[in-house]
Amino acid sequence: MSSDIENTARRYLQAWNSGERHVVNEIAAQDLVVSYTHYPEPYHGPEAFKEMLAKTHHFFPDLSIDVRDVVADENQAFVRWTYQGTFQNGEMFGISASGQSVEVTGMTVLEIEDDMVKREEGVVDNLALMQQLGLSPGRPDSE
């Protein structure tokens, strides 16, 4: 059973690759909830998630994800991944796109039921992303 969960997790994460949003239609449950620590609110349902992916792919049209590790247990998968892309459009964190290449790591927990992903929750190393885009976040005062 854990190998089915692992395979579903690996396939689902491919939706983050540019041009692969259709994967959401194939294996996301209708009551899908997607949340990451940097999202102000969770995304509810496959359509909302695909809209967010479209925005992400606008910023990074060549985005690709490399699944590094998957640990599966019953109905959950814990995934460690790295994404790479080129910031080509728009503005992020107050920085305009100018072709900056980025490589960012993160971790995601997926809840899977009947071969469908019901929940995606994770964290992204946005500090590394900001630094690669050219921001130098200040340190808190030590006083």
User: What tens digit of pLDDT does each residue of 85-124 get?
Assistant: 999 999 998 999 999 999 999 999 999 999 999 999 999 9
CA dist., res. 124 & res. 102, Å (int): 13
pTM summary value: 0.89
Please state, as a whole number, how many other Cβ atoms lie within 10 Å of the Cβ of residue 123: 13
Rounded distance, CA 89 to CA 18, Å?
A: 14
Torsion-angle region of residue 99: left (phi > 0), alpha (psi -120 to 50) or beta? left
Amino acid sitting at position 67 = V
Tokens describing residue 23: 């994967």
Quick count: other Cβ atoms within 10 Å of Cβ 74?
Answer: 10
Give the tens place of pLDDT for each residue, 44-94.
999 999 999 999 999 999 999 999 999 999 999 999 999 999 999 999 989
